[in-house]
Amino acid sequence: MYDQRILSLKGLEYASLTTVEGRVEVPMVINGYHLSVMQDKRVRGQADLVFVDGVFYLLLVIEIPDGTIINTFEVLGIDLGIVNIATDSEGEKKVKTKV
């Protein structure tokens, strides 16, 4: 896990990371949707560096004020919960049943 002491962003083009070999600057590639969401947002204190199928990914947490509307196209959000197994962003619920 990275935090603000060992990770800094150079705009949205580079991430500066502390490694066991010293500090490295790594170019970032951000897709169009995430680039528009991240524009002028503050990274909120932590990031995870993961290695999947031979590729490193830097997973950032960004701060978005409550009530901010983000325009999406053909995306369905799912919230996994305790009371309901899942609730999607269109309001449909999968309710837990007693066994």
Place of tokens 């503050």: 42
CB 23, CB 7: distance < 8 Å = no
Alpha-carbon span 94 to 99, nearest angstrom? 15
Q: Which of 25-34, 63-72, 90-99 has the lowest mean pLDDT?
A: 90-99
Q: What is the pLDDT of residue 52?
A: 92
The residue with greater pLDDT, 35 or 57, is: 57
Full-prediction pTM beyond 0.75? no
Alpha-carbon span 50 to 34, nearest angstrom? 18
For the segment 11-51, what is each residue's pLDDT rounded down to a tens digit? Answer: 778 888 888 899 999 888 888 877 777 777 666 657 888 89
Q: Which of 18-27, 74-83, 90-99 has the lowest mean pLDDT?
A: 90-99
Domain ranges of the chain: 2-63+72-95
